[in-house]
Structure 1
Amino acid sequence: MIGFIIPVLFIMFGLLEPVYTQSEFESLDTGAYFLGTYKTSRGMKTWMEVREDCRNHWADLVTVDSEEELSSLLSLIKSMRFKNGTSFSTSGVHIYERLTWWSNGKDVTFLKRKPDYKPTKVIYYLSLVLYNNELYMIDTNGEDEFYICEFVPGWVRAYRLILNYPYVPFSVLVILIVIRLYLNTLFNFERRQYVSDDQESLIGVDKRGKGRATALS
């Protein structure tokens, strides 16, 4: 039981980092990124599915909140020779009349649009598009060709978990208390068993001593 719970707690709080991600992510000045494709042998993925795929890689859909990060992503995309017009999903999503980054819950404050771009009246998702060798942000319905995952360190995942789900630390505390009580109960039981065995041994020695004394008399 304990051998199962402890690794789960480590994974929940992001304290275990998988080694395999180091070879899959491209490290840049602004972070480490992984590019995936919507197309599979079974058909096209949905935005929710690619978001889950990022999670499976210990990452989130990318959050682009600065010109510096956008430039880093542009360099990466150019190095992979994507053609103009290619679009990439981010974690930008329109929820409750607000355009926010799903990965951290913050409002989108940095936007780079094409000069002639007209935003849609109803925004569903925010994507990046390569146009004339520049990256711009466009509104989409989540049907892009590719998506970008951004690696998230363990301590950041733990912080977001606590921030978004405040009941989780309480649940973990309860689990730790249960483990402590279980260990105390087990220790006390073994201690009582040890004392009982000692008492039986002493009684046996005492009986043998009395038997010898009777025989000598």
Structure 2
Amino acid sequence: MAVQISPSILAADFARLADEAAAVPNADWLHVDVMDYHFVPNLTLGLPVVEALRKATATPLDCHLMIDDPDRWAPQYAEAGAGSVTIHAEAAKAPVRTLREIRSLGARAGLALNPATAVEPYEDLLGEVDMLLLMTVEPGFGGQKFLDVVLPKLRRTRELIDRHGGRIWLQVDGGVDAGTIERCAEAGADVFVAGSAVYGAADRVAAIDALRAAAAVYAPPSEKL
């Protein structure tokens, strides 16, 4: 898979979200962290903001739902125009139904796993997902330190995906920066969420280019062309 960079607007200026979205024209996705103060101890953005952002940017929205009851809410984010909607395995009660509904509405369906959640029990769901997201910090807050303990799970997940034979993206989220992205790419990730590493940089475009170049060192030869 080609390297993809998804800047997280959790690290952006919430008072200027349209401008902040425009400041990353070379991003593949715009990552939107939706938190409800129940599944995680933080409250961020919801459907109205996603609908507004969809009108303000041509960059596809990558919505990561860190919420209770994603089975109820996830389809609405697809209907609001999100290009990708990711639900948490720990919160979903009917993941197959929800993932299929996301897809039926035209969005890519993602399944997220917290750092302590094993990936192996979800192998049978690989046919239902377009992307697996491994959290490399505990979900809920931006600016956390990358958890190296997740790297072995990342490698196992890449092996599961390769064995499955599908074109499933493997995303990492949390503490991704110039010092950690190469380790994630070497372990098998191909989609990278970066918050502070992009929105904390003076030149956001250059920051994205640098992250992409660092990860691309580990891309298959056909993807470097």
Q: What's the TM-score, normalizing by structure 2?
A: 0.23
Q: What's the TM-score, normalizing by structure 1?
A: 0.24
- Structure with more contact order per residue of length (Cα contacts < 8 Å, sep ≥ 6): 1
Higher strand share: 1
